[in-house]
Amino acid sequence: MNLLLQPNWQTPHNTFPFPDISIADIEVAIKEGIRIEAEEVANIASQSTPPTFENTIVALSATGQILEKATTLMYNQLSACTSEELEQLAERMSPLLSEHSSNIMLNEALFARVKAVYDLERLEPTLQEEDKMLLEKTFDGFERSGATLDSQKKERFRAIKAELSKTSLKFSQNNIKETNAFYLHLTDKSQLKGLPKSQVDQAELAAQEKSLEGWVITLHAPSFVPFMQYSEVRELREQLYRAYMTKCTKDNEYNNFDVCRKLVNLRMELAQLFGYPNYATYVLKNRMAETPDKVYELLENLKIYYFESGKHDVAAVEALAKEQEGKDFTLQPWDFAHYSHLLQLRDYNLDAEMLRPYLELSNVTSGVFNLATTLYGITFEENKDIPVYHPDVKAYDVLDNDGVFLAVLYTDFFPRTSKQSGAWMTSYQEEYIDDKGEHRPHVSVTMNFTKPTKNTPSLLTFDELETFLHEFGHALHGIFAKTRYKSLSGTNVYWDFVELPSQFMENYALRPEFLRTFAKHYQTGEDIPQNLIERIRKAHNFNAAYACMRQVSFGLLDMAYYTRTKPLEEDLRSFEHQAWQSVQLLPRMEEACMSVQFGHIMSGGYAAGYYSYKWAEVLDADAFSAFMERGLFSREVAKDFREKILSRGGTVHPQKLYNDFRGRPATIQAMLKRDGLQLPDQ
């Protein structure tokens, strides 16, 4: 029996029965799901009754449930637990899914009904706020999917969507394979100079997993990042950095140069089909920023406030390097993390390894969960009866403050070759309400944290603590969802608003009141020392301006690609350099190319949207200042934040949501203050 074809499963909360679903089942379910949804859509389009909001818009939002389950499983597993067989399936299904989507969105009879409801509502408004948002989102979806184009442009639109789907998948697969293909095999103890014991243990474990003697350093973050910070062997740092920054640039089947050009040019052509000058203008129509000019205004403001301080950050690191290595030493990109670490150690007596013993993963998990309990009254209970897709994964029942079931939360913490790098939150089931009642969400947080070894449990860095809080903030956005329609639920919001709940949670990492609730030495049980907390707080703004400029450079690169009005034919390395040279603070490595591995803007959802992180940072700092003013753990403010932001999803324009919560629009002052900068005199 193919469980994906069944409406319900004999699992707690109707969660995915992962072990009982094969890749062959997914393929069958996708094909059958396409057939069934096509019939559902045809029935809506061919109704003889006049179009209404319920019989057309709501009915359309409820189609495709089998297909949604199958594709949700496929795409989530491609990121978290992939295989050659699954990747091959995705390649086969990609054109079918693209064609199916186009068949719906280019169905003229269906669009005529949608447009009739939309036009009537504009003439005689009767709908409630959430219903109106669903109608507007549905109409806009059709319009932006080619429904208003002439027949020739419709066919070209269909072809572009199919190519984008296939090419995005190719980009991601190349990136994963190149990341996994390289490793630094160390066989001499002298090559480990400077590495802390935790890193050495990890490297030894990585070697054992490859049946090798010695130690292995990989391009995955828990291996790459600390090696670049701690290794005293400059030649190895350079070798590892060059390997990382030249991923997907080699003369092999995983080269992404042409793939990137194709993605950029297809998106430009798609936008121009609709009469937009470029892809950024097309995308930003449905963003808080609204126009490329406003994005550039944000990036330019950040440059004004942060660039000079960023130069000072780099100069201080270079000065220390010259003190240690001689005045002729030239700081290179593979040196920056190492000498930054040494400078932080000198000026603040702080090192990531000092914190690890107090950030044992199970304690951190309890601390993060208890923070949600303190703020919102919700609780987390591990449920071992919920099936999981990998032994590393845990599943929890999330209960509301009255004990009523609220959501399922999956946690997946450790790197593996079948998992993409980075960290993310995703949903296996969105919250929504239908004639059967309310369906509560199933959400997942997926990370790549430092793994336990034979000698120690998983001990996190402070950055990993912040990552946990970030993804958990996204999870709360999904967990608290309370909307009627799944397409407006949880994180289904404007892209430059979605990072507010996640970045908001990161603020707690620096609060002693939070750290003291869980940060205890994993061996002795002693609390994290007060003087160590103070050093963390004082060092928080260390290199903050440099980090901001790095984010601005990524935003400028993104906008450079997607404000183009002519096809991209240039060498990508040169294009990159031109795009971000005005804010670059480190020497350029000629062979390096970020674009070919920059999944956010090439294969992810951040094309013409990378600025969103900084846009949302203005919001999160301003929002957190409400807690600073009225109480760090204020239940009253948290209730407001939950009810006015987290539970509302995309049912209301995000600017209105934020204004309702804060009583005014956000200002940049709170972010500047948090980063140790001040506004210039007005």
Domain residue ranges in the chain: 3-148, 182-245, 357-534
Q: Is the pLDDT of residue 680 over 70?
A: no
CB atoms within 10 A of CB 333: 17
Q: Is the pLDDT of residue 68 over 90?
A: yes
Q: Are strands 437-439 and 424-429 parallel, antiparallel or unpaired?
A: unpaired
Are 44 and 61 in contact, with CB atoms under 8 Å apart? no
> For residue 676, what pLDDT band results from cuts at 50, 70 and 90?
confident
Give the DSSP letter of residue 643. Answer: I
The second-level CATH assignment, the architecture, of 3-148 is Up-down Bundle (1.20)
Q: How far apart are CA 666 and CA 615, in angstroms?
A: 10
Q: How far apart are CA 354 and CA 339, in angstroms?
A: 17
Q: Residue 677: what pLDDT?
A: 83
CB atoms within 10 A of CB 187: 10
| Closest C-alpha among 677, 385, 359 to residue 528 | 359
Tell me whether residue 623 is exposed, middle or buried, using C-beta atoms within 10 angstroms of its C-beta: 0 to 12, 13 to 18, 19 or more. Answer: buried
Q: How far apart are CA 142 and CA 148, in angstroms?
A: 8
> How do residues 406-434 score in pLDDT, each as one tens digit?
999 999 999 998 998 889 999 999 999 99
Torsion on CA atoms 671, 673, 674, 675, rounded to nearest 10: 90
One-letter amino acid at 481 equals A
Are 193 and 231 in contact, with CB atoms under 8 Å apart? yes
> For residue 455, what pLDDT band results from cuts at 50, 70 and 90?
confident
CA distances from 203 to 176, 193, 194, 453, 602 (A): 20, 13, 14, 10, 31
50: number of CA atoms within 13 Å, CB side?
Answer: 4
Q: How far apart are CA 568 and CA 373, in angstroms?
A: 50
Q: How far apart are CA 32 and CA 39, in angstroms?
A: 11
- Could you list the active site residues? 471
Q: Are strands 405-412 and 442-446 parallel, antiparallel or unpaired?
A: parallel
| Secondary-structure class of domain 357-534 per CATH | mainly alpha
CB atoms within 10 A of CB 631: 12
- Angle among Cα 47, 51, 56 to the nearest 5 degrees reads 80
Length of the chain: 682
- Angle among Cα 105, 110, 111 to the nearest 5 degrees reads 65
Are 118 and 135 in contact, with CB atoms under 8 Å apart? yes
CB atoms within 10 A of CB 412: 23
Q: How far apart are CA 139 and CA 147, in angstroms?
A: 9
| 475: alpha, beta or left? (left if phi > 0; alpha if psi -120 to 50) | alpha
> For residue 505, what pLDDT band results from cuts at 50, 70 and 90?
very high
Dig out the tokens for 624 from the structure. Answer: 């957190």
* Matching residue, tokens 């160390």: 186
Q: Is the pLDDT of residue 127 over 70?
A: yes
Q: Residue 21: what pLDDT?
A: 98
Q: Which distant-in-sequence residues (6+ apart) come within 8 Å of 531 by Cβ?
A: none
Q: Which distant-in-sequence residues (6+ apart) come within 8 Å of 59 by Cβ?
A: 44
Report the sign of the C-alpha dihedral through residues 209, 215, 217, 223, in that order: positive
Q: How far apart are CA 587 and CA 321, in angstroms?
A: 15
> How do residues 545-583 score in pLDDT, each as one tens digit?
999 999 999 999 999 999 999 999 999 999 999 999 999
The alpha carbons of the chain give a radius of gyration, in whole angstroms, of 25
> For residue 351, what pLDDT band results from cuts at 50, 70 and 90?
confident
> For residue 222, what pLDDT band results from cuts at 50, 70 and 90?
confident
SS3 of residue 445 by DSSP: strand
The values of phi and psi at residue 215, to 5°, are: -140, 145
Q: Residue 629: what pLDDT?
A: 94
The values of phi and psi at residue 395, to 5°, are: -125, 140
| Closest C-alpha among 327, 444, 328 to residue 393 | 444
CB atoms within 10 A of CB 61: 18
Are 165 and 173 in contact, with CB atoms under 8 Å apart? no
Do 357-534 and 3-148 have the same topology in CATH? no
> For residue 682, what pLDDT band results from cuts at 50, 70 and 90?
very low
Specify which residues 21 forms β-bridges with: none
